[in-house]
Amino acid sequence: MTVVGELIAGRYEIDKLVGSGGMSNVFRAHDRLLERTVALKILHEQFTRDDDYVERFRREARAVAQLTHPNIVTVIDRGEQEGRQFIVFEYVEGQNLKELTAGGPLEIHDAIGVSLQVAHALAFAHARGLVHRDVKPQNVLVNEEGQAKVTDFGIARSLDVHGVTQTGTVLGTSDYIAPEQAQGRQVDPRTDIYSLGVVLYELLTGEVPFRGDNFVAVAMRHVNEPAPSVLERRPDCPLRLEFAVGRAMAKDPAERFESMDELGAELEACLAEVDGRGDGGATMIIPPQPRPRRRAWRRSYVS
């Protein structure tokens, strides 16, 4: 059991628990060697005797260590102490997207902007052969300056020589799971596109598109039911953005954006229109309804 004040690897002093998941706990810790605050992820003890879980944990460290990008949380170190596996990440001061939407949907500019940052991060990972497979608001941290950072590549898989991942295993979070992933079929970068479409839907409406009593019920709605309209819940959403969310959430991967870069380009165009920088004739803007409270971290996101 990890306790406050404990020293890990003779270097990382545990400060406080900041997050807990199915596989691991995340602590804020003080790096005595470099005198800085870090995030320390420690695999749950019950999994340390399972070689598959340990390998997934190690694989996360190896995968993310390859990804140096301003919108991806940086891996600093990895190790083992008394059988406990741990990974050390940069510490992001801020909130995750789920926490940011607890008070309601984001402003349209902010919803597009933060999703665009996530798209840039995932496009970078895809170009290096990694599909995240668990894109959700809880895995996107936003610092006090509004910079988004994708984290938790724990179920990421490297693309094999055929460009797809293994089949037969259902992983992910049901609220954001792509139909092919829910069915245990092959996944590829378009799987992350679907999940990011769901995230953007939630940022715009304040709700996930499908609800149910359990994992299977929600997953089957993703498989069988068309994506609900953003406009029905957010009448001031630009039509072009409504189409972008719908295309990202297409049931058939072939009908989605061909790549995360393509989705990113469309989000940039949507952001330009919202900011009045578009061509003025590409879409119709629905008359605005009362807008949600502006978040303090609003910034320009186009890179």
Tell me the catalytic residues. Answer: 134
What is the C-alpha to C-alpha distance for residues 9 and 26, in angstroms, rounded to an integer? 16
- Name the nearest CA neighbour of 54 among 21, 103, 87: 87
What is the C-alpha to C-alpha distance for residues 179 and 61, in angstroms, rounded to an integer? 27
Enter the tokens of residue 139: 């895995």
What is the C-alpha to C-alpha distance for residues 232 and 200, in angstroms, rounded to an integer? 15
Yes or no: say if 67 and 131 are a contact pair by the CB < 8 Å rule: no
Rounded to whole angstroms, what are the CA distances from 253 to 163, 211, 271, 278, 282?
14, 22, 24, 28, 25
Angle at 167 between CA 166 and CA 171, to 5 degrees: 90
What is the C-alpha to C-alpha distance for residues 108 and 240, in angstroms, rounded to an integer? 12
Yes or no: say if 193 and 257 are a contact pair by the CB < 8 Å rule: yes
Yes or no: say if 231 and 242 are a contact pair by the CB < 8 Å rule: yes
What is the C-alpha to C-alpha distance for residues 289 and 165, in angstroms, rounded to an integer? 43
